[in-house]
Structure 1
Amino acid sequence: MAELKDFSDWPWRHWASLQAHSVALLADAESITWGVLNQRVSNLVTYFSKQGVAQGQCVVLRGKNSIDLLLSQLALIACGAKVLPLNPRLPERLLTELLPHLNVDAVIDFTDDTNIFAKYRNLNCQQDNLFIGDDASAAVDFLSALEQPATLILTSGSTGLPKAAVHSMAGHLSSAEGVVSVMNYQQGDCWLLSLPLFHVSGQGIVWRWLLQGGSLALKNSPLVDALRGVTHASLVPTQLWRLLNEEIVEPFTLKEVLLGGALIPTTLTDLAESRGIACWSGYGMTEMASTVCAKRADGKKGVGLPLKGKRLRIIDDEIQIQSNSQAMGYWFDGEMKPLNCTGDWFKTNDKGAFIDGEYQILGRLDNLFISGGECVQPEDIESVINSHPDVSQSFIIPVDDEQFGQRPVAVVECDLNLPLSELSVWLKDKLAPYQNPMAFYHLDSQLKAGGIKVSRQQVKQWLYTKTDFNH
């Protein structure tokens, strides 16, 4: 297993020198070896440098995953720039408010919407082949850049503007090292880039690939086709259910899956194991460059134990983390703002417990509300609602109530054949009286357009505008 100290040069150069003809990138229409990848990144470094990209600048990459976007990220970091991958679905209103605080120097927009960034310097990444053979000395020294800011990843922005967590390459690689210390991803393996680079989980996949020198699959085809030749993937349980129930002619090459999302049913993991697929579940966050704890999925609520380089503790019900992959801070108005820490322990605001030899995440402390004198943790109710076979996800939102102070309302994404009135009846004997939602609403599809995780704050704002609740 590669250790961080083995790298004296950029990872793509390192692997090109060791295995130039091994496949680095597996796309729908082409395969790219480490040797070719190294050349293309070097060309881009030269090209970006000629366009004025310099050390310390901040460059936005806006778009869905693609080879051009990925190679642009690598080349920009090699120029010494900070990369800010942006979700193309973020509303213009939010970008107009947020971007002036992030000191953006240039943009590469892979979407067709050119108006949003018209006032910014736009870079071209399409003519790097003109610089084959040019001196690639524009790349900064890897070892000196290792601890410098490399990426800005936006948090989910549960309250107010999203924060831009700053990570160094050392932090990303340390996070990757933690995951591959338990999951067996090696040079002969291939991990599917199934998550967007604007999310920390997508970045986690990329840096595991760079650390281990395996292959990375970057495909736009349906999941069952995209997984051909893939040994590792990061999926949500619903995706794995669908995959296992597909009629597939070719045998699975998939060996290990890192599952995210809600409690993972043992029926799913047992079925996967019977097909030779090991399932892992975990806990992580943007500020820690992805996964902090992981375990083989076993149907229990826990998230396992800390990975290599990570420590957890619980103070006043709050999970606190000490990690070698911790963000350097939040970038705002040209300064590095500190994380919310006690000493070098990051205060997650996640409610947790250590039960049966592993950590459990019980919800967000700031989601807790009081109803008729009882403490209500929304995630407790949501886990019961989500256990209904026709429910995909749910959100419990507190609304003001003259008699009880606040009461829970449920916003649910479910099979449209399931009447919400029927769901309400199904819940009655499964929740305490103060936990039973006073009303149910279907989750508006527009609330799912912002990324891979629905914002609880946006659900709350949507609910308040759609109802007559006094709040």
Structure 2
Amino acid sequence: MRLEFILSPLNHASGEEMFAWQVYAASPALKDKIALRDHSQGDVFSWAELALSIGQCAEGLTAQGLKPGQGLALCGKNSFDLLCHYLAGLQLGARVLGINPAFTPQKRQELCARNHISLCILFEPPLAEGVAAGQKKIEKKHRSFPLATEYIASDLPLSPYTLTLTSGSTGLPKAVVHDIAAHFANARGVCELTEFGSGNSWLLSLPLYHVSGQGIVWRWLYSGAELHLAAADFYASVARATHVSLVPTQLSRFLAYLAEKGKQNVNTRHILLGGSQIPLALTQELAHWGICSYSGYGMTEMASTVFAKKSDGSKGVGQALNQREYLLVGEELWLRGAGLAKGYWQQGTIVPLTNEQGWLQTKDKARWVKGELEILGRLDNMFISGGENIQPEEIEGIIQQFGGVKQVFVLPKNDPEYGQRPVALIAFETRFDMEQVNKLKLWLSDKIEKYKQPVAYFPLHSEKLQEGAIKISRQRLQAELIQLLGK
């Protein structure tokens, strides 16, 4: 049973909204079907049991004062508790914002204020309570932070929305607003491509604060399949699910796991790849294990995957999935169609993200080659490291606040595991030395997420690189970095 009919909440005869998990739980044929396996706890939930858990979370949120149209922020790593609160917030008609737990408390507070969040919940790592009958009992734990704002947008319908952060070159990341219909529309095309149906399982292998993690949830709900939550041995959990989403860093480690453990008891049949350029060597090695991989391209603003294909020997990402449209304007890729967001949340309203022609201008460079799209890079300076978007200007702005920094540029260097990692070329007011660098690294350690902290520092010779120009070009900086790295 696929939810072809549930592109938005349905109504009971009583007039109350009904969501996908409630539809399955109310079905005599499906209520006892397994909906979720939590490998971290060894728990299994039917659709009826899952809907009950979500309902209990919804009651808890209501008791804390959350109302339809208000903002709910969830900050933590993937867990059953976090997932239930995510769905419960939507069931209540709230705007649900996911926040990376690597963000500093100050950044978390600023994001909550900017996005009119009334209640923020911080999910902590589970704690062992003790041993009973030879097994550890794990306590799920979270802390709630009611905030001053009780903002409800008067000009918006009191419908559930997700807010997903996307990086920007300046300031805090923007929140992209999707309704449930957009998530389901995106899910449909991916399920068709990957042959994902009710008899399959998908591992929640990517964080819920990313659109890629949310995409997994909506494919599961669209198909009425099983969702798996990972155990401490992440790659053993990958091997248990029929379908998995991985970034190249994870794929490389999973291949190492297969090489060590062998293919015995491996259920994985389909792996959807994304997050950065996907090395052909990895997809070719995966094919040797009899696992079908898909090379994809997606955007937060489009609710996840837009282009995808079965991986082959070419660098392209295939063709647009069902109901997605694209244009190439010069070298820039424009998009619209299934999954397109309502807009960006800004000062209590939703600001459109499309241009006057109704297209999303992606700032990605692309070309059409031999019947498929090939992504060439960015028109701006953003790059991807281990599946995380990194905007150099954000890191540069923070480093500039450190006393004694004259000028700094952050650039990507290629990395076999993460795709790319940030590196800094820096000029201090005094001479460049490692004592200064080490002081900067210590100062930076709690100012920005770890994955954004440069992995190496090199002296910046501004006069040499500028040579009479108004400013130093990043192309020249990248060429200088290649020389410094010796390749």
In the superposition, the TM-score normalised over structure 2's length comes to 0.71
Partner residue, 1:208: 219
Secondary structure at the aligned position of 2:195 is classed as coil
Matched, 1:167 2:181: no
Maintained 8 Å contact 1:282/1:303: yes
Deviations 1:293-330 (A, max 9, x none): 00111132211111111001111221000112111111
Partner residue, 2:413: 412
* Residue number among 278, 281, 291 corresponding to 2:292 in the alignment: 278
Q: Which runs of 5+ in 1 are unaligned?
A: 123-143, 368-377, 400-407, 417-440
Q: Which runs of 5+ in 2 are unaligned?
A: 11-17, 126-140, 150-155, 397-408, 418-436, 464-470, 472-487
Change (3 A) 1:190 1:345: same
Change (3 A) 1:362 1:69: same
Partner residue, 1:256: 270
The structure carrying a bigger strand percent of its residues is: 2
Q: In 1, distance between residues paired with 2:203 and 2:43?
A: 15
Change (3 A) 1:271 1:341: same
Deviations 1:67-115 (A, max 9, x none): 0110011111001111111111112333343332211111111138x9x
Q: In 1, distance between residues paired with 2:347 and 2:113?
A: 8
Secondary structure at the aligned position of 2:272 is classed as strand
Map 1:437-448; keep pairs closer than 5 Å: none
Partner residue, 1:436: none
Deviations 1:114-167 (A, max 9, x none): 9x9856279xxxxxxxxxxxxxxxxxxxxx98x944110000233332000001
Q: In 2, distance between residues paired with 1:177 and 1:415?
A: 33
Q: In 1, distance between residues paired with 2:72 and 2:389?
A: 36
Partner residue, 1:427: none
Partner residue, 2:74: 61
How big is the shift at 1:340?
Answer: 3.9
Deviations 1:171-214 (A, max 9, x none): 11111111112111111111110111001100000110111011
Secondary structure at the aligned position of 2:147 is classed as coil
Maintained 8 Å contact 1:195/1:234: yes
Partner residue, 2:112: 99
Secondary structure at the aligned position of 1:326 is classed as coil
Change (3 A) 1:448 1:312: farther
* Count of matched residue positions in the alignment of Structure 1 and Structure 2: 393
Maintained 8 Å contact 1:172/1:207: yes
Partner residue, 1:224: 235
Secondary structure at the aligned position of 1:327 is classed as coil
How big is the shift at 1:61?
Answer: 0.6
Partner residue, 2:484: none
Q: In 1, distance between residues paired with 2:180 and 2:172?
A: 25
Change (3 A) 1:165 1:409: closer
Structure 1 stretch 1-10 or stretch 310-319: which is displaced more? 1-10
Maintained 8 Å contact 2:363/2:378: yes
Maintained 8 Å contact 2:119/2:146: no
Maintained 8 Å contact 1:395/1:410: no
How big is the shift at 1:448?
Answer: 12
How big is the shift at 1:237?
Answer: 2.6
Map 1:124-163; keep pairs closer than 5 Å: 148-163=159-174
Change (3 A) 1:448 1:298: farther
Partner residue, 1:185: 196
How big is the shift at 1:216?
Answer: 0.7
* Residue number among 362, 377, 380 corresponding to 2:376 in the alignment: 362
How big is the shift at 1:30?
Answer: 0.8
How big is the shift at 1:446?
Answer: 6.0
Amino acid aligned to 2:20:
P
Matched, 1:37 2:50: yes
* Residue number among 120, 126, 135 corresponding to 2:147 in the alignment: 120
How big is the shift at 1:341?
Answer: 2.0
Maintained 8 Å contact 1:61/1:108: yes
Partner residue, 2:100: 87
Deviations 1:260-312 (A, max 9, x none): 24443443323322322100011111111101000111132211111111001
Secondary structure at the aligned position of 1:204 is classed as helix
Partner residue, 1:15: 24
Change (3 A) 1:409 1:326: closer
Map 1:232-243; keep pairs closer than 5 Å: 232-243=243-254
Q: In 2, distance between residues paired with 1:219 and 1:72?
A: 18
Q: In 2, distance between residues paired with 1:351 and 1:415?
A: 23
Amino acid aligned to 2:237:
A
Q: Report percent identity of matched pairs.
A: 37
How big is the shift at 1:449?
Answer: 7.3
Partner residue, 1:341: 355
Partner residue, 1:136: none
Change (3 A) 1:336 1:207: same
Q: In 2, distance between residues paired with 1:334 and 1:260?
A: 32
Q: In 1, distance between residues paired with 2:97 and 2:388?
A: 29
How big is the shift at 1:4?
Answer: 3.4
Partner residue, 2:314: 300
Q: In 2, distance between residues paired with 1:67 and 1:121?
A: 28
Q: In 1, distance between residues paired with 2:63 and 2:346?
A: 28
Maintained 8 Å contact 2:275/2:388: no
Q: In 2, distance between residues paired with 1:22 and 1:410?
A: 50
How big is the shift at 1:459?
Answer: 5.7
Partner residue, 1:5: 5
